Amino acid sequence: MLVLTRKPRQQIMIGDSIVVNVVEVQGDNVRIAIEAPRDVKIYRGEIYRAIQEENRKAAMPADLDLSSLPKI
């Protein structure tokens, strides 16, 4: 993990195509703007974890009650 100190209007470059701009700092809150290509998905951490959990649930086989199906 890289930890950086930045002031408002300063930037962080990620690779050649992603720019993180520090917009504003107010107490414990930091506002950032991210410039990235459209194909790069950007999520807040808690949203990303919720998506991952839903994907895990969807991938798990469901318990099916097959007892009501006609026997062949």
- In angstroms, what CA-CA distances link 6 with 2, 9, 20, 44, 48? 13, 8, 11, 20, 25
Per-residue pLDDT tens over the stretch 2-58: 999 999 999 999 999 999 999 999 999 999 999 999 999 999 999 999 999 999 988
Asked whether the predicted pLDDT for residue 61 surpasses 80, the reply is: no
Question: Domain for residue 5, yes or no?
Answer: no
The answer to whether residue 27 is domain-embedded is yes
Question: Is there a domain that residue 63 lies in?
Answer: no
* Total domains, the chain: 1
The answer to whether 54 touches 71, Cβ cutoff 8 Å, is: no
- Residue 66 placed within a domain: no
Does some domain include residue 17?
Answer: yes
Give the pLDDT confidence score for residue 9 in this predicted structure. 96
Longest dimension (CA), the chain: 72
How many Å apart are CA 21 and CA 6, to the nearest integer? 9
Name the residue range of residue 21's domain: 10-58
Asked, for residue 49, whether it belongs to a domain, the answer is yes
Q: Which residue is associated with the tokens 């026997």? A: 71
